[in-house]
Amino acid sequence: MTRHTYDGDERANDGSHAVANLVRAVTGTIVTIFVLHVLFTVLQANQGNEFVSFIYSAAKIFVLGLGDVFTPRDATAGVVLNYGLAALVYLVIGQLVIRMLRR
């Protein structure tokens, strides 16, 4: 039987890795919501559908002021640009936080 011993650093790493994985999961979920919102907008999905409505509402919550950075004449282009930007911001910040936690 092999006995495992852990020192304080390993336990701290386990905790920071768990938090990093949580950040990755949350970031991935939010980015997925943005991508679905853009797809549903471009493909003109039925907004009366509960899932489409849920994605639309969730995207509005997580966009955090980035929903109107670009204001092109075409509303669909605005959704693609603004929610694409929001997804990129979440990805970059999420990766920075994950890197800091894994050090």
Is residue 89 domain-resident?
Answer: yes
Interatomic CA distance for residues 3 and 88, integer angstroms: 44
Mean pLDDT taken over the chain: 89
**What is the distance between the terminal CA atoms of the chain, rounded to a whole angstrom?**
32
Region 1-11 average pLDDT = 53
Is residue 88 domain-resident?
Answer: yes
Domain count, the chain: 1
pLDDT at 45: 96
Is residue 61 domain-resident?
Answer: yes
Q: Which domain holds residue 28?
A: 8-102
Region 61-79 average pLDDT = 93
Is residue 2 domain-resident?
Answer: no
Is residue 12 domain-resident?
Answer: yes
Structure token digits, residue 45: 């999905």
Is residue 98 domain-resident?
Answer: yes
32-48, pLDDT tens digit by residue?
A: 999 999 999 999 999 99
Is residue 72 domain-resident?
Answer: yes
Is residue 16 domain-resident?
Answer: yes
Interatomic CA distance for residues 81 and 67, integer angstroms: 9
If DSSP states are collapsed to H, E and C, what string results for 41-72?
HHCCCCCCCHHHHHHHHHHHHHCCCCCCCCCC
